[in-house]
């Protein structure tokens, strides 16, 4: 046997070092540059241990601690840690002097700390100056910016007020109905007040006037205290009022109802309530109004709760009743011609006549038809006026054999409304000459030539006792003949 010695060496791979460039102004603009030595090239680099790159430079880094890893061609790796710092630049604070009312004399003094000097200052973010004092400023809010030598910027906000400033709040916008008013709830610490425009305001020189504009209006309130003044606005919206419409005037016939037709709103109120079915609807009915003139007033409220500024009226004329007289009940004999006659009692002026039934009539459509009858009948005449109002009346006609004079054989004058009067019933008689009554002593106790007049049982103011009385009568029939009749009648008590 023979021997020899060998040495197996170990490669530790590449090692890495790193240099940094710090981020500044709070931005992600730091860099890390890695440098590898030893091991087997080519190298790869990573700062998160996962993603590797061939470049040894890492850019756009935020301030943080990073672990730089190098991996050589044999996949041997090594690490080193670095810290990327950050320069936040200068910070700024500011003090102020308030402006006087109406004068731009406020000042701001800025103070910078940190960062790289020299500093520059701005209050508009655009124009910078080396001086840290800003003068001749109006009351307002300002953003003070500092920029250091590295270009880093920082800001602070400061507000310049007005010495002795007045506050004003004209109040919340509100809505009213046309014709109504509301007090304005403005608030201010001033002593002098001026509203414009003045139209619709109870007093434009006080803080809380009452507003009643006709149309929607934007009001401006300017308040003043010393040299200080301020302005605010208020809108008063005006909903137009609805217009009530009670409908057209109308004429109706007596005894008829009529419906009113109102419109213009959502809620209705009629007055007076007399004869109305309901005063709170648009179309109430006037029920059974009397003859004459009726005036109704209507007010309406719309969906916004606004009421009409004035009522509307409607005139309802209820015509007088149409009254017609068909004639007094009468008696005739069979086949005796009788002329009927409808009388216009109130001189209404009839335009149409209708008699019914038409039995026995020569013309049922005229004022004065002629009838010839062989039986009892009741005629009804219906008339119409030019306003189409109707009236009716009846006439009873009894038909007898005759011509004749009929007299009851007894009567009872006791004031009970039945058979209290002894009088003749004339059938076919044109004229009653006389109707006379005698007692048993031959004394004339009653006499008349009027067919509708009779004896009430009194003689010389004294009621007569039960007894038999004699009557005699003479008349002329419708043909001109003389009729003489007599008989007895008993008075019953």
Structure confidence at residue 358 (pLDDT): 95
Strands 106-114 and 133-137: antiparallel
Residue 209 Cα to chain centre, angstroms? 28
**Measuring CA to CA, which residue among 253, 209, 214 is closest to residue 234?**
209
Positive or negative, the Cα torsion across 28, 29, 35, 40?
Answer: positive
204 vs 141, 220, 235, 316, 491, CA distance in Å? 32, 10, 15, 48, 100
- Give the C-alpha separation, 446 to 401, whole Å: 27
Ordered DSSP codes for 27-48: -S-EEEEEEEEESSSSPEEESS
Lowest-pLDDT choice from 5-19, 192-206, 227-241: 5-19
Are 32 and 62 within 8 A, CB to CB? Answer: no
Determine the 3-state secondary structure of 119 from DSSP: coil
Please say if the pLDDT value at position 466 is more than 90.
yes
Buried b (16+ CB within 10 A) or exposed e, 379-418: bebbbbbeeebbbebebebbbbebbbbebeeebbbeeeee
Which residues have CB under 8 Å from 296's CB, separation 6+? 246, 260, 270, 271, 272, 276, 286, 313, 314, 316
Average pLDDT over residues 313-337: 92
Are 142 and 110 within 8 A, CB to CB? Answer: no
Please say if the pLDDT value at position 10 is more than 70.
no
What's the pLDDT tens digit per position in 70-122?
999 999 999 999 998 887 788 999 999 998 887 889 999 999 998 889 999 99
Average pLDDT over residues 304-321: 95
476 vs 142, 424, 427, 430, CA distance in Å? 130, 14, 11, 6
322: number of Cβ within 10 Å: 23
Please say if the pLDDT value at position 401 is more than 90.
no
Q: Is the peptide bond before 363 cis (omega within 30 degrees of 0)?
A: no
Structure confidence at residue 181 (pLDDT): 96
| Band of pLDDT at residue 478, cut at 50, 70 and 90 | confident
Please say if the pLDDT value at position 23 is more than 90.
no
Percent above pLDDT 90 for the chain: 79
What's the pLDDT tens digit per position in 222-254?
999 887 889 999 999 999 999 999 999 999 999
| Band of pLDDT at residue 22, cut at 50, 70 and 90 | confident
| Band of pLDDT at residue 180, cut at 50, 70 and 90 | very high
Please say if the pLDDT value at position 483 is more than 70.
yes
Are 270 and 242 within 8 A, CB to CB? Answer: no
Are 25 and 152 within 8 A, CB to CB? Answer: yes
**Could you give phi then psi for residue 170, rounded to 5 degrees?**
-70, -5
Q: What's the mean pLDDT when you consider all of the chain? A: 93
Lowest-pLDDT choice from 30-44, 60-74, 151-165, 362-376: 151-165
Please say if the pLDDT value at position 11 is more than 80.
no
What's the pLDDT tens digit per position in 419-438?
999 999 888 888 999 999 99
Tell me the whole-structure pTM to 2 decimals: 0.56
């Amino acid at each position: 046997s023979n021997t020899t010695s060998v040495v197996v060496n170990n490669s530790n791979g590449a090692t890495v070092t790193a240099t940094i460039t710090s981020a500044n102004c709070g931005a992600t603009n730091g860099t890390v540059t890695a440098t590898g030595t030893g091991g087997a090239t080519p190298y790869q680099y990573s700062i998160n241990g996962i993603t590797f790159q061939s470049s040894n430079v890492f850019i756009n880094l935020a301030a943080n601690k990073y672990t730089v890893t190098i991996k050589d061609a044999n996949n041997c790796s090594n690490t080193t840690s670095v810290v990327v710092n950050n320069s936040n630049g200068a910070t700024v604070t500011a003090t102020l002097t308030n402006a006087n009312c109406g004068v731009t004399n406020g000042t701001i003094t800025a103070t910078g700390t940190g960062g790289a000097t020299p500093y520059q200052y701005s209050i508009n973010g655009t124009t910078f100056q080396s001086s840290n004092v800003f003068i001749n400023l109006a009351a307002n809010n300002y953003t003070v910016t500092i920029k250091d030598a590295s270009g880093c910027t920082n800001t602070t906000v400061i507000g310049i007020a007005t010495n002795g400033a007045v506050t004003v709040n004209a109040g919340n916008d509100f809505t009213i109905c046309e014709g109504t008013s509301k007090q304005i709830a403005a608030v201010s610490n001033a002593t002098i007040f001026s509203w414009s425009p003045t139209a619709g305001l109870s007093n434009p020189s006080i803080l809380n006037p009452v507003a009643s504009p006709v149309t929607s209006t934007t009001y401006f309130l300017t308040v003043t205290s010393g040299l200080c003044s301020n302005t605010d606005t208020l809108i008063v919206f005006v909903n137009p009022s609805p217009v009530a419409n009670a409908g057209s005037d109308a004429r109706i016939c007596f005894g008829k109802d009529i419906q009113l037709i109102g419109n213009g709103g959502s809620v209705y109120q009629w007055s007076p309530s007399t004869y109305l079915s309901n005063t709170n609807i648009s179309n109430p009915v006037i029920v059974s109004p009397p003859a004459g003139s009726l005036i109704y007033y209507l007010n309406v409220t719309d969906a916004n709760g606004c009421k009409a500024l004035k009522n509307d009226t409607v005139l309802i004329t209820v015509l007088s009743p149409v009254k017609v007289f068909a004639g007094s009940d009468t008696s005739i004999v069979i086949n005796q011609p009788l002329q009927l006659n409808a009388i216009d009692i109130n001189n209404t002026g009839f335009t149409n006549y209708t008699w019914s039934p038409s039995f026995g009539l020569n013309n049922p459509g005229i004022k004065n038809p002629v009838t010839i009858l062989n039986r009892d009948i009741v005629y009804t005449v219906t008339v119409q006026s030019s306003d189409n109002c109707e009236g009716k009346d009846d006439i009873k006609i009894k038909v007898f054999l005759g011509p004749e004079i009929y007299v009851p054989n007894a009567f009872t004058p006791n004031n009970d409304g039945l058979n209290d009067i002894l009088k003749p019933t004339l059938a076919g008689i044109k004229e009653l000459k006389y109707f006379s009554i005698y007692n048993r002593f031959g004394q004339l106790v009653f006499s008349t030539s009027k067919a509708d007049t009779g004896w009430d049982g009194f003689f010389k103011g004294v009621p007569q006792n039960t007894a038999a009385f004699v009557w005699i009568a003479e008349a002329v029939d419708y043909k001109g003949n003389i009729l003489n009749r007599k008989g007895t009648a008993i008075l019953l008590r």
